[in-house]
Amino acid sequence: MLVRSMSEADLKDAAFVHQREFARQQRSLEWLRCNLSAYPRFLSYVVVVDNTVVGYISWAQKSGFRPEVVLELEQLAVLSNYQGKGLGRALIKQSLVLVEKQLSDTGSSIKHIMLTTRADNHAQKLYRSALGAEIEATIANLYSADEVLMIARNVNLRT
């Protein structure tokens, strides 16, 4: 397993993951291409197993480029047949090291991490354990159901 920056060459494979795991969303390739093109505001990574992209993660810097960044976990997806094997956790943890390096090179650091997910999404457990994120609010009927806003405060990757 390898976590690395997403490249243009990864877009079709990442779009396949997006289509499979987010059935209600459309135009997967265009969506991921837009995120990749928005670097450095968006930082995108893939997880590769046996030379195949089986998942991706996108992080977004919120509210401009600041010395202390509020980072959003914009989207995380792993193909269902690879779930439950630690790849989501690896994507979060290993990509955050790469994000921290990118931010450090520009004189910034991560302050908080925020994310939203469906209220019934079992990934909340992953976000709690991998990031220390806690539910801050529930937003009724935001996309396809109720969403929860989770925040990991005062992130320190060195602990």
Q: Are 15 and 32 in contact (CB under 8 A)?
A: yes
Q: What is the pTM of this model?
A: 0.93
> Which residues, in sequence order, are bridge partners of residue 78?
55
pLDDT one-digit tens code per residue, 112-123:
999 999 999 999
pLDDT one-digit tens code per residue, 19-59:
999 988 889 999 999 999 999 999 999 999 999 999 999 99
Count Cα neighbours of 142 within 13 Å in the Cβ-side half-sphere.
11
pLDDT one-digit tens code per residue, 58-92:
999 998 899 999 999 999 999 999 999 999 999 99
